[in-house]
Structure 1
């Protein structure tokens, strides 16, 4: 019976010590999740450089369709593709037929989004 009470006391004492530690670990994990967004934003996504001719611009939808050359980095052949833009203001002044250079990156949904687009130098 003494062993039972001694075991019970040791179990209770260890619980008193480990519960606050587990709570602190849980709190740290919660804070890490909250700061994870900042870490993700601070980590630069891999960006790609494209060149092409604008087929169409849809400012309301925040999209642009570009006929572009091949992209070796992604193994893409020449093609026309619709892109979302990071900010609709990027589309201001762009028009059909214009030759552009643009930077784009993969977004969290798995698509590609233009982060910068400018008329190509003549």
Structure 2
């Protein structure tokens, strides 16, 4: 009979504490997820950089844009074309002029467009 009461007490105790422990474990998981989201822990942003080469058709310092007649970009399957690019920082356009041959790096931005991250006059 003692074993019956002891088993009954253990079952009651387990029935009370296990749901509380499960809830605490769930809350700890949510706190960890919140910290990871807020701090960026475990998240890596892999931005692929592409190389372009071409001739500047036009520059707009106010709008931070450059129109470039560029050669093909094999990594993207692009043929030769003229394209408007947003420039990451308008200071990248300082000293450049229309008609100049340039080499540049560009990447896809969060809105699906492409942004120039580096641009320099091409070596002769």
TM interval, short-chain normalised = 0.7 to 0.9
Match among 28, 31, 49 for residue 35 of structure 2: 31
- The TM-score, its normalising length taken from structure 2, stands at 0.83
When Rg is computed on C-alpha atoms for both structures, the one with the higher figure is 2
- The TM-score, its normalising length taken from structure 1, stands at 0.85
Structure 2 counterparts to residues 58-69 of structure 1, below 5 A: 58-69=60-71
Which runs of 5 or more structure 2 residues have no equivalent in the other structure?
Answer: 1-9
Match among 108, 111, 116 for residue 106 of structure 1: 108
The aligned counterpart of 1:92 is 94
SS at match of 2:40: helix
Which runs of 5 or more structure 1 residues have no equivalent in the other structure?
Answer: 1-5
Partner deviation per Cα, 1:10-38 (whole Å, 9 max, x = no partner): 44311211122111100111111123288
Which runs of 4 or more aligned residues in structure 1 lie more than 6 Å from their structure 2 counterparts after TM superposition? none
The aligned counterpart of 2:84 is 82
Supply the RMSD in Å over aligned alpha carbons: 2.5
Distance 2:113 2:12 in 1: 57
Distance 1:39 1:7 in 2: 43
Q: How many residues are aligned here? A: 119
